[in-house]
Amino acid sequence: MNALVPLVVVGDALLDQDLSGRADRLAPDAPVPVVQGARPVARPGGAALAAYFAALDGRDVTLITALGDGEAARTVRRLLEDRVRIVELPLDGQLSRKTRVLAGGVPVLRLDDGDGRASGTTEEAIAAVEAAPAILVADYGRGAAEALRDVLTRTAARVPVVWDPHLRGSRPVRGVRLVTPSAAEAREFAAGLRTGPGAAAVPDEVRVGTHAGFRGPADDARELVRAWGVTSVAVTLGGEGALLSHGGDPLVLSTARNVRGDACGAGDCFAATAAGLLADGELPETAVQEAVRAATRYVEAGGAGALRIGTTPSATARPVEPPPTETGPDPFALAGRVREGGGTVVAAGGCFDLLHAGHVALLQAARRIGDCLVVCVNSDASVRRRKGGSRPLVPAADRIQVLLALGCVDAVAVFDEDTPEHVLGSLRPHVWAKGGDYALAELPEAALVRSWGGEVVLLPYLDGRSTTRLAERAARGPAADALRPARRR
């Protein structure tokens, strides 16, 4: 295996903090939640988080940033020690610190303090950029990229540079290999091109398909490639993936499944992954696709709230391992996080062979009951024992992928037994939801769910929807159905 190419990260470090607790009531003197039991967790933020992500695979990473003095700066240095080499720029003011207050895992407030900016450069920093085999610029608009702009311009002409921009920061230097704005940032940057100095030189191409006047990320990316003089722009689209443009028709790189969760830091994960792969010689298309997957896994695993950054090298193991393709997010870890945050865990179960409208209605209703829905699915062997040798019609891996594509499903757990008692004992959901074609007396798992204080809920099924009937109709073929007399309605 070839060694990973070292990476230099240039940008503005921050200190990110979370105060996580629970909120069960509103304050008596104002309509605001009362957060109890808040526990502080600190992590590197901004360019420091991007450098941390780049170092997780064992890559040699140098971070060029301004830290200054003070408690926030000392904390960032401690969090990155033994992982990232830091080359410091002078800082005017105090390092920026962002503190999120979360209740049940949901942000309810953010507190910002510190307005420090990089106030110059050093010979050591210039030398580190000139010697870099690859560079990631994580520009958070606090002066580091601007302080090194001249040397970045020279270096971008000969080594791969990825620029993760900020609306308050500098425009990328010419020759950058890849720029990674969010859709909202790309929209604002492109609008600035059309209204700011030199706007007349930017073509006003506002037609997409037959819809005159509509502008989308593809238009914005194309304009930015041309105006900035960069090789490509990857517009991140949140849970939908990313759009890659070289100035012409774009390539859309989608996520494999719908993902919801704490997306704080996902952009840094995306940019660090793309920069590392470009450093290793991958094409932009491959780098962006892998960056989409890495950011998706990061959000699936809990995002910033799940990062646990210790102070010893042994704690540097990657916190987000790719989940097996066939199973998606870890259902037990998800249930644990929701339960710990005071949320309600809902589980539903079945074979879900030939997913139909009755299944979808049941799952949507189940998800509305709580804060996450874990679907317990019979394995192929379990389906065969229950339904006969001709079933399942769809193998478990495919059934799981279809379920994960539903917006109401957060995770899937597979069980091999005839009934789901074992997997339920591990999940311990607050609510176990079943279709209305069951009676409580027919559910052997009902007593188990009640043993830990959970409840069983029977939800109405749509009439006439059945996998067995669908299979029978498919076996008959359309001609047989055409000969059947129409039923009165």
Instruction: Count the residues in the chain.
Output: 489
Mean pLDDT, rounded, of the chain = 83
- Please determine, for residue 438, whether its predicted confidence score (pLDDT) is greater than 70: no
Range in 97-111, 203-217, 465-479 the model is least confident about: 203-217
Looking at residue 257, its pLDDT comes to 62
Residue 206's pLDDT band (cuts 50, 70, 90): very low
If one compares 55 and 257, the residue with the highest pLDDT of the two is 55
Q: Model confidence over 8-18: pLDDT tens digits?
A: 999 999 999 98
Looking at residue 436, its pLDDT comes to 61
- Please determine, for residue 204, whether its predicted confidence score (pLDDT) is greater than 60: no
Beta carbons of 193 and 169 less than 8 angstroms apart:
no
DSSP string, 366-412: HHTTSSEEEEEEE-HHHHHHHH-TT--SS-HHHHHHHHHTSTT--EE
Range in 61-75, 259-273, 304-318, 427-441 the model is least confident about: 304-318
- Please determine, for residue 288, whether its predicted confidence score (pLDDT) is greater than 60: yes
Looking at residue 487, its pLDDT comes to 44
Looking at residue 322, its pLDDT comes to 38
The tokens describing 98, both together, are: 């962002």
- Please determine, for residue 448, whether its predicted confidence score (pLDDT) is greater than 60: yes
* CA angle centred on 436, ends 433 and 440, rounded to 5°: 70
Burial state string for 146-180 with b = 16 or more CB within 10 A and e = fewer than 16: bbbbebbeebbeebbbbbbbbeebbbbbebbbbbb
Helical residues (DSSP H) of 229-307, grouped into ranges: 266-279, 284-300
Residue 259's pLDDT band (cuts 50, 70, 90): low
Residue 270's pLDDT band (cuts 50, 70, 90): very high
The tokens describing 405, both together, are: 């594509």
The whole-number average pLDDT for the span 98-109 is 85
- Please determine, for residue 196, whether its predicted confidence score (pLDDT) is greater than 50: yes
The 8 Å CB, 24+ separation contacts for 201-206 are 201/227, 202/226, 202/227
Q: Model confidence over 19-29: pLDDT tens digits?
A: 888 888 888 88
Beta carbons of 408 and 324 less than 8 angstroms apart:
no
Looking at residue 120, its pLDDT comes to 94
Residue 192's pLDDT band (cuts 50, 70, 90): confident
If one compares 436 and 312, the residue with the highest pLDDT of the two is 436
Residue 210's pLDDT band (cuts 50, 70, 90): very low
Looking at residue 486, its pLDDT comes to 47
Beta carbons of 420 and 273 less than 8 angstroms apart:
no
Residue 476's pLDDT band (cuts 50, 70, 90): low
Looking at residue 354, its pLDDT comes to 81
- Please determine, for residue 205, whether its predicted confidence score (pLDDT) is greater than 50: no
Looking at residue 5, its pLDDT comes to 93
Looking at residue 159, its pLDDT comes to 96
- Please determine, for residue 482, whether its predicted confidence score (pLDDT) is greater than 50: no
The whole-number average pLDDT for the span 158-169 is 95
Q: Is 219 a catalytic residue?
A: no
If one compares 486 and 278, the residue with the highest pLDDT of the two is 278
Q: Model confidence over 235-253: pLDDT tens digits?
A: 999 888 899 999 988 888 8
Looking at residue 176, its pLDDT comes to 96
- Please determine, for residue 464, whether its predicted confidence score (pLDDT) is greater than 60: no
List the catalytic residue out of 18, 139, 268, 410: 268
- Please determine, for residue 224, whether its predicted confidence score (pLDDT) is greater than 60: yes
Range in 15-24, 61-70, 209-218, 227-236 the model is least confident about: 209-218
Amino acid occupying residue 187:
R
- Please determine, for residue 465, whether its predicted confidence score (pLDDT) is greater than 70: no
Residue 150's pLDDT band (cuts 50, 70, 90): very high
- Please determine, for residue 390, whether its predicted confidence score (pLDDT) is greater than 80: no
Looking at residue 477, its pLDDT comes to 55
What sign for the dihedral angle of Cα 4, 133, 252, 297?
Answer: positive
- Please determine, for residue 261, whether its predicted confidence score (pLDDT) is greater than 80: no
